[in-house]
Amino acid sequence: FLLAIIVDSYCRVAERAKDNEAVDMFINDTVHIMVTPFLRRTHGWPRNRALLKSLQGAGRPDDEPVSLEELMSYEGPRGPYFKTHKAAQSYMDYFAQKVSGKLATVLPPKAEAP
């Protein structure tokens, strides 16, 4: 009888944990922590902290999306953080997956095939 109560309680907790987004986010964040430094070097991205300081120093509202052109305009002591639009775009694409909606891509729409 006691075992049945324990198993039943475990099943209820396990069912609730299955839909828990925090567990998924933890795994996702762990992967990002390991992958981002490699991608940063591969794509020529700046360090997140340096870009964050520039965004904060710009005095812009935190809840407004950042455009590609605005991202390209930030500079550090060694020049622009992003040397090419491709680097800035890949940065935005990567983090848009993670932040869902905080970074907005401002590019002309692609022409549809006839």
How large is the average pLDDT for residues 40-65? 88
More confident residue, 8 or 45: 45
pLDDT tens, residue by residue, 65-89: 888 888 899 998 888 999 999 999 9
Q: Assess whether pLDDT exceeds 80 at residue 26.
A: no
- Residue 23 — very low, low, confident or very high, per pLDDT cuts 50/70/90? low
Beta-carbon contacts of 82 under 8 Å, excluding residues fewer than 6 positions away, are 44, 45, 46, 71, 72, 74, 88, 91
- Residue 103 — very low, low, confident or very high, per pLDDT cuts 50/70/90? very low
